Amino acid sequence: MGTQGPDDDKYHSKVDERTAEEKAIDAWLPITSSRNAKWWYSAFHNVTAMVGAGVLSLPFAMSELGWGPGVTVMIISWIVTFYTLWQMVEMHEMVPGKRFDRYHELGQHAFGEKLGLWIVVPQQLVVEVGVDIVYMVTGGKSLKKFHDLVCADCKKIRLTYFIMIFSSAHFVLSHLPNFNSISGVSLAAAVMSLSYSTIAWGASVDKGVQKDVQYGYKATTTAGTVFNFFSALGDVAFAYAGHNVVLEIQSTIPSTPEKPSKVPMWRGVIVAYVVVALCYFPVALIGYWMFGNKVDDNILITLEKPIWLIAMANMFVVVHVIGSYQIYAMPVFDMIETVLYKKLKFRPSWYVRFVSRNIYVGFTMFVAISFPFFGGLLGFFGGFAFAPTTYFLPCIMWLAIYKPRKFSLSWWTNWV
């Protein structure tokens, strides 16, 4: 079974009704092929998945929410997503001897074979493909910003070419077979996210509170204010979007009845969430405190000087976004390959993988070049697919599967 330990085999053999062919396919698919991850893998995979470039737009989201609602929304989101992440980790192995390696497998268990697929897969795809496209644009923009800062007198190069340069990295990295093989990329990305978050709030503190700082709403009409408010809620939902890949990350950790995978996974998640808090709260609160409602939707743009530091932060963003792209692309590759092998009966081989993955990277690059304002649609995607997969679906599945006693604590928490 690929790189699984002997204990894993014993554990599976009791309940394993899969045919030899299915086993061979599972040993080839990106998510189930390698199960020898350590708990710290889950920590930095989760940091990379969670702390997106979304953190840089948090001061802007704060400026649209205002002090009271802003702080409340940030704290509530942190607590709620932490709780729903715990539920996902618990539900990974709630049926003895079976592991839900993918979000939609859990959905199918909760809502039935057909319905579960239709509820989860479209939303999960919107999230994962959406994030990848946004990261293509973000990577390109950060490269462009780096180029413009370092070489102010150079000829201006169009964003399109920077997106192409950025995507060239993915035409190579996308051929790493599974989650464990991208752990190096992911670790680098996790370190980068801490670095540029620290630069963002550190440079803000250095600038100090601006002279004419204002904390009122920017929009002049009520409709405008309300619209901005909801848009900001979408941005915050986007900032906490790690749940779409959590089961897929957990499936790489070895598991036996004595040592279930949820123990090391949970340890990794706690570390990841501490890092998330260290990245999010200082950036959001200090950024808004210093610049008020004049802050840009990417705080690195507001901080123009010192040039070398901001250029460095932009480069860190590029490295981090490379890692995040891969984390979100892996479940999509898994879905594409599952369809190719199980439905269309292709033989598992490297060239099927080579062609399918290159097509996917090419597709995200093409959309990113065509719609460079894709980030503006984030609020929409945030509300449409991020909020359900992160905030509601885990609770609904918990209620459907565990059926907690009416009016018990678990029942109330999930319904609320």
Rounded Cα–Cα distance for residues 171 and 138 (Å): 17
Q: Which of 246, 271, 283, 215 minimizes the C-alpha distance to 55?
A: 283
pLDDT class for 360, splitting at 50, 70, 90?
very high
Q: In Å, how far from its chain's centre is CA 259?
A: 27
- Backbone φ, ψ for residue 370 (5° rounding): -70, -35
> In the block, which residue shows the tokens 């994962």?
128
Rounded Cα–Cα distance for residues 413 and 86 (Å): 13
DSSP code at position 372: T
Q: Which of 179, 123, 159 minimizes the C-alpha distance to 391?
A: 123
- How does the average pLDDT of the chain come out, rounded? 80
> In the block, which residue shows the tokens 């839900």?
100
Segment 60-81 shows an average pLDDT of: 84
Q: Which two tokens stand for residue 190?
A: 């996790």
Rounded Cα–Cα distance for residues 288 and 218 (Å): 13
pTM for the complete prediction? 0.81
Q: Which two tokens stand for residue 396?
A: 């609904």
User: Per-residue pLDDT tens for 171-217?
Assistant: 888 888 777 777 788 888 888 888 888 888 888 888 777 777 777 77
pLDDT at 359 over 90: yes
Residue 350 neighbours by CB distance under 10 Å: 10
Helix axes 350-370, 159-173, angle to 10 degrees: 160
271-290: burial string, b at 16+ Cβ within 10 Å, e else: bbbebbeebbbbbbbbbbbb
What sign has the CA pseudo-torsion 373, 278, 148, 60? Answer: positive
User: Per-residue pLDDT tens for 98-136?
Assistant: 788 888 888 888 888 888 888 888 888 888 888 888 888
pLDDT class for 12, splitting at 50, 70, 90?
very low
Least confident of 248-257, 309-318, 327-336: 248-257
**Percentage of the chain exceeding pLDDT 70:** 90
H helix intervals, 151-221: 159-173, 183-207
CB 22 within 8 A of CB 211: no
User: Per-residue pLDDT tens for 378-394?
Assistant: 666 666 666 676 767 77
CB 284 within 8 A of CB 70: yes
Segment 132-158 shows an average pLDDT of: 85
Residue type, 6: P
CB 244 within 8 A of CB 128: yes
CB 275 within 8 A of CB 192: no
Determine the pLDDT at residue 383.
66
CB 334 within 8 A of CB 101: no
Burial (CB < 10 A; 0-12, 13-18, 19+), residue 3, is middle
Determine the pLDDT at residue 14.
42
CB 174 within 8 A of CB 358: yes
pLDDT at 314 over 90: no
CB 31 within 8 A of CB 330: yes
Residues 6+ apart with CB under 8 A from 238: 52, 54, 378, 379, 381, 382, 386
Beta-strand (E) ranges in 317-389? none
CA angle 58, 62, 65 (to 5 degrees): 135
Segment 64-93 shows an average pLDDT of: 84
The number of residues making up the chain comes to 416
Segment 386-415 shows an average pLDDT of: 74
> In the block, which residue shows the tokens 């330990």?
5
User: Per-residue pLDDT tens for 41-57?
Assistant: 888 888 887 777 678 88
Residue 230 neighbours by CB distance under 10 Å: 14
